[in-house]
Chain A
Amino acid sequence: MKYNWWKVLSIICLVYAVVAGMLLPVPARPIVNESIRNLYYHVPMWFSMMVLMTVSVIYSILYLRTSKLVQDINARFFASTGMLLGLLGIITGAIWANYTWGAPWSNDIKQILAAVALLIYAAYFVLRGSIEDIDKKARVSAVYNIFAYTMLFPTLFIIPRLYESLHPGGEGNPAISQRDIAPIMRIVFWPAVLGWTLLGVWITTLHVRVQKLNDKHILNG
């Protein structure tokens, strides 16, 4: 195993997020009750997805500038781990919604557009699978990745603010602004975001290393 300080930090943050997230006091609010603690586990999925997608698009841009296949491998696996976190975000959101909004899917604007954003990313993988030529695949999917990443902003940040949503915090920056999240919750929430992001990076690096071994002859030749 490659020992890295951030892998240790990830484990510490995740263990802390589980223990402190379950045991520390939380504000008492109607409807959500104790399920307010889901903020520590559901929302970090989306935050870390955003980070991983950002890293992915940076690698795509780097690929377009340098045409080095390693960067395409990185872009692909950061996007796929980000996709996994996004799917977990949607599923955990549906579970939470079932017990607070009364239904797992209530066609809330954020639910719909989060699904749209994930479908756009799903098309990225379909596109990759449909091109045989390695260099063409890398270039076309890098360009598409930039489009998919750009689409995250209207779907996750802009349009939901224009409509009424069941999600809290639509008037400002949800989970970031001072009003939306109690100070006691912030000391668990941010380490949780860090922990899940680093775990996502860790899993991605494993994928990348396997792919590098697989493509050794192409990358070195």
Chain B
Amino acid sequence: MDNQSSFPGNVLESVTSKRFKSLAQALSFITFFTLLNFSLFAQATEEKVQMAEGLRSNGKIYVVVAVLLTVLAGLIFYVIRLDKRISRMEQQSKA
């Protein structure tokens, strides 16, 4: 940032003295404001919290849902099977 603003100033100063000094000042003034603008812009984007928009727009979130449902289905299937087996044992012990 410093190099950018001082570089044209040095070159111009070496060519002539008076007029370009003010131009260099004007240039640095402009660069300062553009940089300020940039930093403000950066702050504005930082405030926007990043969420999984990419994941959502690509539709890949459904893959996660599918995996989770598979795990859940397996777990529930297992519990149901246990339940059935215990019921059978209970019937046998009654008989």
Chain-A contact segment, one of B19-27, B31-39, B64-72: B64-72
CA distance A15 to B82 in the complex (A): 20
B10, CB-defined interface residue at 8 Å: no
Looking at chain B's contact residues, the main secondary structure is helix
* CB interface residues, A 29-63, toward B, < 8 Å: 29-30, 33-34
CA distance A196 to B87 in the complex (A): 22
CA distance A34 to B60 in the complex (A): 14
User: How many Å from the CB of A197 to the closest CB on chain B?
Assistant: 14
CA distance A199 to B72 in the complex (A): 11
User: How many Å from the CB of A167 to the closest CB on chain B?
Assistant: 20
Contact B90 A18 (CB under 8 A): no
Q: Which residues of B contact A216 (CB under 8 A)?
A: 93
Contact B86 A22 (CB under 8 A): no
Q: A209-B90, A210-B86 are in contact. Are A1 and B51 (CB under 8 A)?
A: no
CA distance A28 to B47 in the complex (A): 11
* CB interface residues, B 37-52, toward A, < 8 Å: 48-52
Q: Which residues of A contact B86 (CB under 8 A)?
A: 206, 209-210, 213
User: How many Å from the CB of A68 to the closest CB on chain B?
Assistant: 19
Contact B52 A34 (CB under 8 A): yes
- Which of B52, B87, B89, B93 meets A1, CB within 8 Å? B87
* CB interface residues, B 56-95, toward A, < 8 Å: 61, 64-65, 68-69, 72, 76, 79-80, 82-84, 86-87, 89-90, 93
* CB interface residues, A 206-221, toward B, < 8 Å: 206, 209-210, 213, 216
CA distance A7 to B82 in the complex (A): 13
Contact B72 A14 (CB under 8 A): yes
Q: Which residues of A contact B65 (CB under 8 A)?
A: 18-19, 22-23
* CB interface residues, A 172-218, toward B, < 8 Å: 199, 202-203, 206, 209-210, 213, 216
Contact B76 A11 (CB under 8 A): yes
Q: Which residues of B contact A34 (CB under 8 A)?
A: 51-52, 55
A65, CB-defined interface residue at 8 Å: no
Q: List 19 A-B contacts (CB under 8 A).
A: A2-B87, A18-B65, A22-B61, A22-B65, A22-B68, A23-B65, A33-B49, A33-B51, A34-B51, A34-B55, A199-B79, A202-B83, A206-B82, A206-B86, A209-B86, A210-B86, A213-B90, A213-B93, A216-B93
User: Which positions in B face A, CB cutoff 8 Å?
Assistant: 48-52, 55, 61, 64-65, 68-69, 72, 76, 79-80, 82-84, 86-87, 89-90, 93
User: Which positions in A face B, CB cutoff 8 Å?
Assistant: 1-2, 7, 11, 14-15, 18-19, 22-23, 26, 28-30, 33-34, 199, 202-203, 206, 209-210, 213, 216
* Leading 9 A-B pairs by shortest Cβ distance: A28-B49, A1-B83, A1-B84, A34-B52, A18-B68, A22-B65, A209-B86, A30-B49, A28-B51
